[in-house]
């Protein structure tokens, strides 16, 4: 029934002329998205320095450790879905370009707030309060960015290029992560511990605020992708996508669950997993992770182009069934060897590309344009929070309980469930996108 309903949707699509400046559109979405994720990951890489200054262990106020816990929880599991819903609604009501402008200004402002947050020694409990506020705004921005940029990228693509344009969602995300890692590594390597704790940790966030202004300038010149009919139609309600398209919302969750747990396991958690379970040296684990991420970014356009030729479903099944069959053998192959870790990571990246390179296109092709951004944003971000964001915690929990070998099976089972969804998906690659 679900597949039939989505098939009916895709078969009644109408065409609209593609944007006149596709390269500028691609640049506007990609540069802004890279800046967004640079700011997000900069906090991750420098969290220990920030915590030492803003959440000191010696703090007498009992609110300080509470705020430390809340900062991680609220941003990771609450604000991203909220951002997907709110910024998606902005994109559907006021235009994709307007939403992209709001998200990058939010991220730039919150990044600057992190960089200027006073220490606990200087401001007391106000310091962690400001940092929590900044992270809440960053979570709102990141959740909204995917909804807006996904819609914008796919609607900007010309005929037969939606998969290619879609792939730059994860190209830019990975570039942002690599730049954040590089900046953090450069600072840690060139400054003393005293300098890093004093002012060095602030530099990436001030730089992020400046880069956000550059992204804002590029996005201001982008072309709006909503059709004239959409702009003249009554504005959709905040929960209209969920209310009128519940099956499509559930479909987004089913598509995303396997992809997000595999993505966060292979791109974020695998170095730590290798350290905990295979005795890999931390520096080797981080180097392998960096090299595999660069390899991953290069693969994305190839996956997008391939999907424009052979369709979305074959790539999704390649990813889903590949991880269902190989996640356990790959993770059990890990041992105290840099070469083995790098091969395992790169093999996973090849499989993962079947999902990441086309997820934006697949999502955008499911919803009608009236509620496309909000329809994607909320269920996608919620699924990421439930499955992707918790992957490192689930893996660590299995390890603490003495059942580390169960985590690969957990990943495999979730990917198998998503594969069942992929089998039922109608093929949308060669149907025109509704405008």
Cβ neighbors of 217 (< 8 A, separation 6 or more) are none
**250 and 391 housed in the same domain:** yes
**69 and 196 housed in the same domain:** yes
Residue 239's pLDDT band (cuts 50, 70, 90): confident
Residue 68's pLDDT band (cuts 50, 70, 90): low
Long-range CB pairs of 265-271, under 8 A, 24+ apart, other chains included = 265/391, 265/395, 265/411, 266/292, 266/345, 266/348, 266/349, 266/352, 267/174, 267/177, 267/293, 267/296, 268/391, 268/392, 269/391, 269/392, 269/395, 270/341, 270/344, 270/345, 270/348
Cβ neighbors of 284 (< 8 A, separation 6 or more) are 338, 341
**300 and 359 housed in the same domain:** yes
**283 and 413 housed in the same domain:** yes
Q: What's the confidence (pLDDT) of residue 60?
A: 63
Q: What's the confidence (pLDDT) of residue 128?
A: 85
Write the DSSP symbol of residue 78: I
Q: What's the confidence (pLDDT) of residue 242?
A: 83
Q: CATH no. for residue 255?
A: 1.20.1250.20
Each residue's pLDDT tens digit, 122-136: 888 898 889 888 888
**35 and 145 housed in the same domain:** yes
b/e code 76-104 from CB counts within 10 Å (16+ = b) = bbbbbbbbbbbbbbbbbbbbbbbbbbbbb
Residue 243 above 90 pLDDT?
no
The answer to which of 186-195, 271-280, 337-346 has the lowest mean pLDDT is 271-280
Number of compact structural domains in the chain: 2
Higher pLDDT, 362 or 43: 362
How many other CB atoms are there within 10 angstroms of residue 73's CB atom? 11
Q: How far is Cα 35 from Cα 50, in angstroms, rounded to an integer?
A: 20
Q: How far is Cα 103 from Cα 101, in angstroms, rounded to an integer?
A: 6
Query: Two tokens at 387?
Result: 């499955």
Q: Does residue 364 form part of some domain?
A: yes
C-alpha closest to that of 261 among 393, 132, 365: 393
Q: Does residue 28 form part of some domain?
A: yes
Last residue within a domain, chosen from 222, 255, 287: 222
**181 and 251 housed in the same domain:** no
Each residue's pLDDT tens digit, 203-231: 999 999 999 998 898 888 888 887 777 77
Average pLDDT over the chain reads 85
Helical ranges in 95-237 per DSSP H: 96-116, 120-123, 126-156, 162-190, 193-198, 203-220, 228-232
Q: How far is Cα 36 from Cα 147, in angstroms, rounded to an integer?
A: 13
Each residue's pLDDT tens digit, 77-99: 678 888 899 999 998 888 888 99
Share of the chain above pLDDT 70, in %: 89
b/e code 382-397 from CB counts within 10 Å (16+ = b) = bbbbbbbbbbbebbbe
Each residue's pLDDT tens digit, 260-306: 999 989 988 888 788 878 888 877 888 888 899 999 999 999 999 99
Q: How far is Cα 141 from Cα 257, in angstroms, rounded to an integer?
A: 21
Query: Two tokens at 200?
Result: 């060095």
Cβ neighbors of 219 (< 8 A, separation 6 or more) are 28, 32, 97, 100, 101, 104
Query: Two tokens at 291?
Result: 């090299």
**323 and 215 housed in the same domain:** no
Q: What's the confidence (pLDDT) of residue 16?
A: 43
Q: Does residue 15 form part of some domain?
A: no
Each residue's pLDDT tens digit, 25-45: 888 888 888 988 898 888 878
Contact present, 61 and 122 (Cβ < 8 Å): no
**186 and 275 housed in the same domain:** no
Residue 120 above 80 pLDDT?
yes
Each residue's pLDDT tens digit, 374-433: 889 899 989 998 888 788 778 878 887 888 889 999 999 999 999 999 999 999 888 888
Last residue within a domain, chosen from 178, 194, 222: 222
**206 and 288 housed in the same domain:** no
**271 and 388 housed in the same domain:** yes
Whole-model pTM: value is 0.85
Long-range CB pairs of 345-350, under 8 A, 24+ apart, other chains included = 345/266, 345/270, 345/288, 345/289, 345/291, 345/292, 346/292, 346/295, 348/262, 348/266, 348/270, 348/292, 348/323, 349/266, 349/292, 349/295, 349/296, 349/299, 350/299
Share of the chain above pLDDT 90, in %: 39
Last residue within a domain, chosen from 160, 189, 222: 222
Length of the chain: 435
**53 and 138 housed in the same domain:** yes
Domain hosting residue 178, numbered range:
21-222
Q: Work out the end-to-end distance of the chain between its first and last CA atoms, rounded to an integer number of angstroms.
A: 24
Helix, strand, coil percentages in the chain from 3-state DSSP, rounded to 5: 80, 0, 20
**33 and 179 housed in the same domain:** yes
| Burial classification of residue 57, based on how many CB atoms lie within 10 Å of its CB (0-12 exposed, 13-18 middle, 19 or more buried) | exposed
Q: What's the confidence (pLDDT) of residue 47?
A: 78
Higher pLDDT, 158 or 199: 199
């Amino acid at each position: 029934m679900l597949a039939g309903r989505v098939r009916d949707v895709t078969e009644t699509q109408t065409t609209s002329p593609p944007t006149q400046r596709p390269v500028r559109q691609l640049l506007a979405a990609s540069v802004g998205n890279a800046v967004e994720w640079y700011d997000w990951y900069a906090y991750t890489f420098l969290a220990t320095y920030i915590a030492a200054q803003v959440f000191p262990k010696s703090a007498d106020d009992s609110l300080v450790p509470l705020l430390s816990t809340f900062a991680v929880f609220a941003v990771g599991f609450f604000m991203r879905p909220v951002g997907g819903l709110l910024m998606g609604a902005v994109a559907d009501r006021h235009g994709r370009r307007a939403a992209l402008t709001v998200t990058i200004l939010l991220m730039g402002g919150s990044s600057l707030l992190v960089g200027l947050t006073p220490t606990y020694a200087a401001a007391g409990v106000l310091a962690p309060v400001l940092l929590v506020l900044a992270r809440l705004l960053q979570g709102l921005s990141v959740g909204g960015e995917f909804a807006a940029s996904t819609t914008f990228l796919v609607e900007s693509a010309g005929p037969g290029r939606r998969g290619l344009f879609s792939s730059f969602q994860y190209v830019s995300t990975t570039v942002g992560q690599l730049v954040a890692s590089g900046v953090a590594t450069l600072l840690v390597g060139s400054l003393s511990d005293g300098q890093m704790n004093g002012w060095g940790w602030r530099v990436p966030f001030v730089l992020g605020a400046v880069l956000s202004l550059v992204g804002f300038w590029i996005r201001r010149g982008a072309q709006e992708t909503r059709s004239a009919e959409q702009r003249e139609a009554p504005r959709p309600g905040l929960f209209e996508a969920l209310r009128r398209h519940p099956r499509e919302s559930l479909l987004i969750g089913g598509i995303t669950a396997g992809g997000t747990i595999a993505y966060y396991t292979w791109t974020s958690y695998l170095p730590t997993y290798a350290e905990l379970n295979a005795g890999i040296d931390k520096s080797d684990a981080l180097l392998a992770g960096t090299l595999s991420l660069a390899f991953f970014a290069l693969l994305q356009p190839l996956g997008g182009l391939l999907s424009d030729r052979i369709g979305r479903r074959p790539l999704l099944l390649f990813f889903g069934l590949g991880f269902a069959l190989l996640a356990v053998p790959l993770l059990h192959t890990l041992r105290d060897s840099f070469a083995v870790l790098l091969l395992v990571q790169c093999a996973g990246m090849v499989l993962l590309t079947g999902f990441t390179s086309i997820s934006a296109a697949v999502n955008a092709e499911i919803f009608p344009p009236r509620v496309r951004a909000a329809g994607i944003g909320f269920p996608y971000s919620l699924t990421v929070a439930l499955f992707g964001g918790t992957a490192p915690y689930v893996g660590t929990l299995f390890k603490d309980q003495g059942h580390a070998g169960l985590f690969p099976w957990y990943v495999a089972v979730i990917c198998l469930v998503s594969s069942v969804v992929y089998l039922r998906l109608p093929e949308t690659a060669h149907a025109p996108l509704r405008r």
